[in-house]
Copies of this chain bind each other. A is one copy, B any other.
Amino acid sequence: MVIALDAMGGDHAPAMVLEGAAIARGRMPHLRFLLFGDQERLTPLLALHPLLREGVEIRHAAQVIGPSDKPSQALRRSPQSSMRLAIEAVRDGHAAGVLSAGNTGALMALSRFVLKMQPGVDRPAMISYFPTARGESAMLDLGANVECDARHLVQFAILGAGFARSVLGVARPVVGLLNVGAEELKGHDEVRAAGQILREAKFGFDFHGFVEGDDIGAGTVDVVVTDGFTGNAVLKATEGTAKLISQFLNLAFRRSWVSKLGYVLAKPALDSLRAKLDPRQYNGALFLGLNGVVVKSHGGTDGEGFASAISVAADMVRGDFNESIHADLDVFDHRVAAEPQLATKAAS
């Protein structure tokens, strides 16, 4: 299995990318990489990692897309960028997936332009997964689409279920639609119409119904579906809350010498909790709905986090994602074709 890596994307690239690749190869020796970037910088770095001596090829890219470049600039002005060439490697069949820690908007625009949408999917959606009281759950869209109609939300449910099968290993995922209440009448038109379709159609996943914000951490469902505006705000707000509580905890432990001693005694247990909640472990958001596996790593991550994102890409390639959602996309197409009033509602 070959993964194309944008070696120049991310705050600590390219060193971080090579470190991540080395960690990933240590865990999954069958992985091979195409490294896209500045050959002169990459060659000496590559020599530092014995694990990368085999199965890694550098492909020179003369351009780099910066973190503040606009997607339109990236599309027009950077035909030789490491990001673009890495994506083209997937289109041309040289790699099974692509991973970048670079500019999110540019990665989305270039991926959509180069790879095109999967048939039956209107827009790409961003998905990621996180720890819950019940294991792991995923949420989409995390910001690719700030406005979504019912048709998009139903497609997100289908894509999210496929992700849960491929990456979370859930055979028949349970999907919930985020809303301001559990009752059928709650929410705005788009979410109500999507809820109706999801309740009635026979998809290869179970629809739980509407879920609320607190169901996310509770792990009530395997996949939480929402529009990109809400998903982005919720994801960042929960990250902010976790950070805030961790700051408050640190202050509390420092309050007296007795509490400091308590901290020392509880440290191994607290460290294992910290490891469980380590954001690096959940690094790697996917753009679903494209003709190819595209993974976005957090820009500020380190080698460990980048390696997690590589394993998400590997899971998606292995999991036969496209195959798994094909039947559900067909069900939706038939449903919309059979009931024109639904089509109008879905496209409202």
Tell me the A residues contacting B by CB distance below 8 Å: 131-133, 143, 146-147, 178, 180, 187-188, 212-218, 226, 228-230, 232-245, 247-249, 251-253, 255-256, 258-259, 261-270, 272-273, 276-277
Contact = CB atoms under 8 A, between A and B. Distances in A.
Nearest to A189: B147
Given A133-B244, A180-B229, A188 B146 contact: yes
30 contacts: A143-B180, A146-B180, A180-B228, A180-B232, A188-B229, A212-B236, A213-B233, A213-B238, A213-B239, A214-B237, A214-B239, A214-B240, A216-B241, A218-B240, A218-B243, A226-B233, A237-B237, A238-B241, A242-B245, A245-B277, A248-B273, A252-B269, A252-B270, A252-B273, A255-B268, A256-B268, A259-B265, A259-B266, A262-B266, A265-B265
Given A238-B238, A239-B214, A253 B266 contact: yes
B240 A213 contact: yes
Nearest to A247: B133
A233 to B, nearest CB: 4
Contact of A243 (B214, B226, B236, B267): B214
A247 B273 CA distance: 11
Contact of A268 (B217, B259, B277): B259
A236 B238 CA distance: 10
Contacts of A276: 248
B269 A253 contact: yes
A131 B249 CA distance: 14
A268 B188 CA distance: 46
Contact of A234 (B234, B245, B277): B234
Contacts of A253: 266, 269
A213 to B, nearest CB: 3
Nearest to A266: B262
A236 B218 contact: no
A48 to B, nearest CB: 34
A248 B255 CA distance: 22
Contact of A217 (B178, B187, B237, B256): B237
Residue among A226, A249, A276 with the most chain B CB within 10 A? A249
B241 A242 contact: yes
Nearest to A180: B232
Given A213-B232, A233-B212, A240-B218, A187 B146 contact: yes
Contact of A238 (B146, B237, B248, B266): B237
Contacts of A240: 213-218, 238
Given A237-B238, A242-B245, 6 more contacts: A133-B244, A178-B233, A217-B237, A252-B270, A262-B262, A263-B266
Contacts of A270: 252, 259
A277 B248 contact: yes
Contacts of A237: 213-214, 216-217, 234, 237-238
